[in-house]
Amino acid sequence: MLIRDATSGDWPAIWAFLRPIVAAGETFTWDRDVSEERARAMWLLEPPGRTVVAVDADETVLGTAKMNPNHMGPASHISSASFMVHPGHAGRGVGRALGEHALGWARAEGYRAMQFNAVVETNTRAVRLWRSLGFEVLATLPEGFDHPVEGYVGLHIMYRPL
């Protein structure tokens, strides 16, 4: 698996799994019917943000991550990141590899911490992964997320110093 900068040529492959993940409404705080144009603008970031893809030896896109400052000005030393793994390639360590990559990027860019603003508490796989990468749940917004099956569930703010 290789992690490299995403190019506009990667967008169709990203959109193919990003769209159903967002439409399912179980893990992302995005409008479930987001347009492709808006999704692309929100996912493919310009500096100081960065977007990468994890690809197989045959250039199949397995997953993607975007990284960016979480705050501005006097709090711009806090980074953030978002991740999506192609459901057909789950369980292969793609999320972990992307998470480690994002932490490395943030360190290299001089950030002092990484903060996730909205990790759905029922997304236990993600919560477990981020904990194993050194993140802690700093707070949970009670009933912060309206899950299509579970109803209102908590929304974690997760954090780790770098």
Give the footprint of a copy of itself on this chain (CB under 8 A): 22, 25, 28-32, 34, 71-78, 112-113, 115, 117-118, 138-139, 141-148, 155, 157, 159, 161
3-state percent breakdown (helix, strand, coil) of the chain, nearest 5: 35, 35, 30
Beta carbon nearer to a copy of itself, 57 or 72? 72
**DSSP 3-state of 90:** coil
Structure tokens belonging to residue 8: 């506009």
Q: What's the per-residue H, E or C state across 103-139?
A: HHHHHHCCCCEEEEEEEECCCHHHHHHHHHCCCEEEE
For residue 122, the minimal CB distance to a copy of itself (Å) is 11
For residue 113, the minimal CB distance to a copy of itself (Å) is 7
- Reference 70, options 22, 106, 98, 43; nearest CA is 106
Give me the phi and psi of 82, to 5 degrees please.
-135, 155
For residue 141, the minimal CB distance to a copy of itself (Å) is 6
For residue 6, the minimal CB distance to a copy of itself (Å) is 21
Beta carbon nearer to a copy of itself, 87 or 161? 161
For residues 153 and 82, give the distance between their C-alpha atoms in angstroms, rounded to a whole number: 20
Beta carbon nearer to a copy of itself, 2 or 75? 75
For residue 26, the minimal CB distance to a copy of itself (Å) is 8
Beta carbon nearer to a copy of itself, 2 or 139? 139
